[in-house]
Structure 1
Amino acid sequence: MKYIVYILYSVSIKKYYIGHTGNLEQRLKRHNAGLVRSTKPGVPWKFIYQEKYLTKQEAYKRELRIKSYKGGEAFKKLIEN
């Protein structure tokens, strides 16, 4: 199974959300249906970035790494590409 690290953006609250999942399509639907407590205030969310990994552990490590970039130059470069 492949795991995906993803970044979403909410135009309404001008914030990014970083997460990982095994099913991106289903997860995005849950975010936009208001079923995820942490993203409910920002509905609708727009998908802007993804990276694929073979294991959940690799995806989780990368998610944490990207979260550590948030607001910095590395994060800006990542989402601009």
Structure 2
Amino acid sequence: MNTLIAHQRTGTPEKFAEKLNLSRSALFEYLTFLRKDLMLDILYNCYNQTYYYGEKDFCTLMGGKCCNNCQQFQNQ
């Protein structure tokens, strides 16, 4: 989930849920948890049809330690 959001490759909510093998409602439950409980800044771009991180992403939550996928994305 984090990698798809970080790379802005989620697609619509329906396609994102399908990629994660979740129902659409389960996807929204996860997104609500990430936004409210972990206070991540997850936004949706209707034009590009993708979720993306605003100012506070998963790596910021982890103290700036990014996974390999995020590091590769940031170096591009």
Give me the TM-score of the superposition, normalised by structure 1.
0.31
Structure with more of its chain in helix, by fraction:
2
Structure with more of its chain in strand, by fraction:
1
Give me the TM-score of the superposition, normalised by structure 2.
0.32
